[in-house]
Amino acid sequence: MSKGVKQGEKYIVKSNNHILGEMIFLNYQYAGNQKYVTFDCLYRSKVWLNNSNVSIFRYITKDEYITKVKEKYDATCLAIILKRLIDESFEW
């Protein structure tokens, strides 16, 4: 099970290499010595999943993806410019 899963956030859930869909994490629950994860989704009120063969991926919006790509691009551009401006023998 993934660590850092936050209550109320949307995730894409995979079980046995089959995508179950986009779901909102509700909480962890225990039944006996088994740990379950409960999700809220459109086609069922609650989904209970145990640890076996379950993968959870955080859902990323298109805007968030574009922002991350732009930040990475800007950092790469800055590194290239600084490398060209400052010689490797430069000492501070």
pTM exceeds 0.75 for this model: no
Do 13 and 39 meet the contact criterion of CB atoms below 8 Å apart?
yes
Report the alpha-carbon angle 72-76-80, nearest 5. Answer: 170
* Chain segment 22-45, per-residue pLDDT in tens: 788 777 766 777 666 667 665 555
* Chain segment 10-24, per-residue pLDDT in tens: 888 787 777 777 788
Phi, psi of 59 (to 5 degrees): -75, 130
Do 9 and 28 meet the contact criterion of CB atoms below 8 Å apart?
no
All structural domains of the chain with their residue ranges: 10-85
Task: Show Cβ contacts of residue 43 under 8 Å, excluding neighbours closer than 6 positions.
Answer: 21
